[in-house]
Structure 1
Amino acid sequence: MTQVQTRMSRTSELSFNRQALASSQIAVCVYCLKEFQPSRITEWVDEGSGGETALCPFCDIDAVAGFNGEVDSAWVADEHRKQLEYK
C-alpha cells in the first residue's frame, strides 16, 4: 500500500474526531490495539471549540482513529509506540 493510499484509508486523527468517526467503517485504539465498530463509542471528551474526541470503549483512553478499508497497521503500531512513550 502506498503512502497516499494509507492516508486515504485513515478517516480521522486521534483528536477532535467525532464527526470523522461517524463516517468510518472501523475504529482502532492505538493504545490497547482493539479494533471495533465506531458505533461502540459511547464516551467523548469535550474539547471546547475544537470538537469532541472519542474514548476507547475498552480502555477509556483518547487514542481512537477511524479507517475506511484496510487498517494501516504500520501507522497504528507507530502511534502505539508513541502513546507508550508519552504515558
Structure 2
Amino acid sequence: MRIDIPGPLRSYTRQTSRVTVALPAPNPTLGGALTALDRDYPGIRFRIIDEQNRLRPHIQIFVNAAIERDLAAQLPTGAQIMIVAALSGG
C-alpha cells in the first residue's frame, strides 16, 4: 500500500515523501496500515497516534481522497493513504 508522508514526518522515512508498506491480510485496516508503517519506519506511529490510540488533533489522514479518522476502517484493495500534518504556532 502506498502512503504519502508529510514533510514534518519525513525524518522517520529518510526524507522519503512516498513509501510502500505490506499490509496484513485479509481485511486490512487503517490502524493496521499505520502499524505496518511503524514496523518499517520505527517511531513514526507515535507522531500520528496518541497514547489513547486516537489520531493526534493536528493529523488528518485521507484514504482515496476522503478523510478517515477511524483506525478500524477497512481499506479497499489498492487504497492510497495520504497523511497530512497541520502547521501550528503563533
Class of the TM-score when normalised by the shorter of the 2 chains: under 0.3
- What's the TM-score, normalizing by structure 2? 0.26
Point out the structure with the larger helix share. Answer: 1
